[in-house]
Amino acid sequence: MKNSISLKEDIAVVTGALGKLGPIWIDALLDGGASVCALDLAGAAISEAFGRLQSNYDDSRLQLVRTDVRDRESLESACENCIAAFGVPTILVNNAGIDRPPGDSDQGYRLTEIPFKENRDIFEVNTLGLFQTTQVFGSRMVAAGRGSIINIGSLYASVSPDDRFYDHIPGDPPFLKPPAYGASKAAVVNLTRYLATLWAPHGVRVNALSPGGVLGGQDEEFKRKFCDRVPMGRMAEAGDLHGPLLFLASQASAYVTGTELVVDGGFTAW
């Protein structure tokens, strides 16, 4: 079993590498033995979490490549850079995404006032950008006859956000979780099934990993409300996500494709 979860011969690509979850996935993959090509926008600042990974791993294990999942030419160039650095990828973690958590913007909206552009931007990155990234990197996996693609979903692919989690936050209009976020993640889960059935004969597995709320800078009242709603009574921590990712990335899940692995402490069981 220990050998089946080893990634020592693997080359992984992670989009959205400089965001909240990106370094969590990268840390797990590096710890499992993989070499990692980390992708993010040219203007994205290197986060503290990613900086720590860079200090622990040199260019022979971890490289940052700037790209935009909405730009096909940029993705093709990033793919060639990754192949030149490490070889043909065997793991793709489609993590890049747009969300708007409380405090991320001073601009709130009522449902009837949400601009079309905000919805479009979310779908362009979370769903269409994920598909385009899969076209570019997944096609190389298909040609090689091997690969594991992991699409990062969300508990909100299955359930609607509870506005009561946010009703203590002052604002007029009040904070509203973008409706396009959950809709885009639900589309990702369905797209996962589509790709899984299409590419299974070519040795490429496609699964979704949908985290629940992940601890990271939320205010205390939000955490209290959210944790009261979780059967396990807490939010996810980074270590809670490592095992599920390694399972889907490795040969431990060799007969698993087209599934959504929900890692939410039981949130969606109620």
Tens of pLDDT along 145-160? 999 999 999 999 999 9
The predicted structure's pLDDT at residue 248: 98
Q: What percentage of the chain carries pLDDT values higher than 90?
A: 90
Give the Å distances, CA to CA, from 187 to 57, 97, 181, 235, 270: 35, 13, 10, 24, 22
Q: What is the mean pLDDT of the chain?
A: 95
Query: Do the Cβ atoms of 191 and 127 come closer than 8 Å?
Result: yes
CA atoms within 13 A on the CB side of 250: 23
Domain hosting residue 248, numbered range: 3-269
Instruction: State the catalytic residue, choosing from 57, 109, 181, 255.
Output: 181
* CA–CA dist 204, 134 (Å, integer): 11
Tens of pLDDT along 47-67? 999 999 999 999 999 999 999
Number of domains observed in the structure of the chain: 1
Query: Do the Cβ atoms of 92 and 141 come closer than 8 Å?
Result: yes
Say which CATH number the domain at 128 has.
3.40.50.720
How far does CA 190 lie from the centroid of its chain? 15
* CA–CA dist 259, 208 (Å, integer): 6
The predicted structure's pLDDT at residue 104: 58
The answer, yes or no, to whether residue 105 has pLDDT greater than 90, is no
* CA–CA dist 241, 249 (Å, integer): 12
Token pair 């990692």: residue? 36
Question: In a 3-state reduction of DSSP, which class is residue 70?
Answer: coil
Q: What is the mean pLDDT of residues 106-126?
A: 90
The predicted structure's pLDDT at residue 102: 78
Annotation says 156 is catalytic: no
